[in-house]
Amino acid sequence: MCLQESLSNVYYVSSKTINKLIQVHDRIFCCIAGSLADAQAVTKAAKFQISFHSIQMESPPLVKAAASVLKELCYNNKEELQAGFITAGWDRKKGPQVYTVALGGMLLSQPFTIGGSGSTYIYGYADAKYKPDMSKEECLQFATNALALAMGRDNVSGGVAHLVVITEEGVEHVVIPGDKLPKFHNE
């Protein structure tokens, strides 16, 4: 999973180092997009619900369950909220999975997904370069390149690239400052 960490309000960029990768459980992370305030509130509630659910089930939660919790929150409060999520992680039943929870509360399982304001610039790249069953290194490269391209073109994206690798064994964080990202011809 990877995110560019910049937060802007209408007139200026408030921060270039916001954490938009929220851990909702040991092996499940959420990328947040849209109104950061809404997203933070929703993930806080979801984190609690998922943690409680996991304790009741006496086993780590399914990624699908975590995504469903977020979806319920988004759908039932769709009038007030403006936040979208990408939930991804690993569980014992189905292994690694990626789910999108869109603005109105749609839940979709996908092999890979992109989101946020900069994503519009990299749909072509992602569709062309994605292949199933990539190795960890190939995946990291794909994600880093995609982010770099998006941050290069989108005026409200930039700052730091934050990647997280989630496996059965554990979670690994990779942080790449903007100037260390791969460079493409437009720079």
Partner 1 sequence: MSSIGTGYDLSASTFSPDGRVFQVEYAMKAVENSSTAIGIRCKDGVVFGVEKLVLSKLYEQGSNKRIFNVDRHVGMAVAGLLADARSLSEVAREEASNFRSNYGHNIPLKYLSERVAMYVHAYTLYSAVRPFGCSFIFGSYDQDDGPQLYMVDPSGISFGYWGCAIGKAKQAAKTEIEKLQMKDMTCRELVKEVAKIIYIVHDEVKDKAFELELSWVGEVTNGKHELVPKDIRVEAEKYAKDSLEEEDDSDEDNM
Strand locations in 92-140 (E) = 95-101, 107-110
Q: Binding of partner 1 at residue 65 (CB under 8 A)?
A: yes
CB closer to partner 1, 73 vs 148:
73
Q: Binder to partner 1 among 44, 52, 78, 93 (CB under 8 A)?
A: 93
Q: Which stretch binds partner 1 (CB under 8 A): 36-44, 69-77, 116-124, 133-141?
A: 69-77
The C-alpha atoms of residue 1 and residue 69 are separated, in whole angstroms, by: 19
Q: Binding of partner 1 at residue 27 (CB under 8 A)?
A: no
Angstrom CA distances, 52 to 15, 57, 61, 66, 171, stand at 33, 9, 10, 11, 21
The C-alpha atoms of residue 26 and residue 51 are separated, in whole angstroms, by: 10
Q: Binder to partner 1 among 18, 33, 69, 181 (CB under 8 A)?
A: 69
Strand pairing report for 95-101 and 107-110:
antiparallel
Query: Which distant-in-sequence residues (6+ apart) come within 8 Å of 69 by Cβ?
Result: 46, 49, 50, 53
Q: From the centroid of its chain, how far is CA 155?
A: 20
Q: From the centroid of its chain, how far is CA 76?
A: 21
The C-alpha atoms of residue 180 and residue 143 are separated, in whole angstroms, by: 14
CB closer to partner 1, 65 vs 150:
65
Q: Binding of partner 1 at residue 78 (CB under 8 A)?
A: no
Q: Binder to partner 1 among 10, 12, 56, 187 (CB under 8 A)?
A: 56
Q: Which stretch binds partner 1 (CB under 8 A): 28-36, 59-67, 113-121, 135-143?
A: 59-67
What tokens does 159 get? 């700052």
CB closer to partner 1, 20 vs 71:
71
Q: How far is the CB of 35 from partner 1 (least distance, A)?
A: 24
Q: Which stretch binds partner 1 (CB under 8 A): 4-12, 15-23, 54-62, 173-181?
A: 54-62
Contact residues toward partner 1 (CB under 8 A) are 53, 56-57, 62, 64-65, 67-69, 71-72, 93, 107
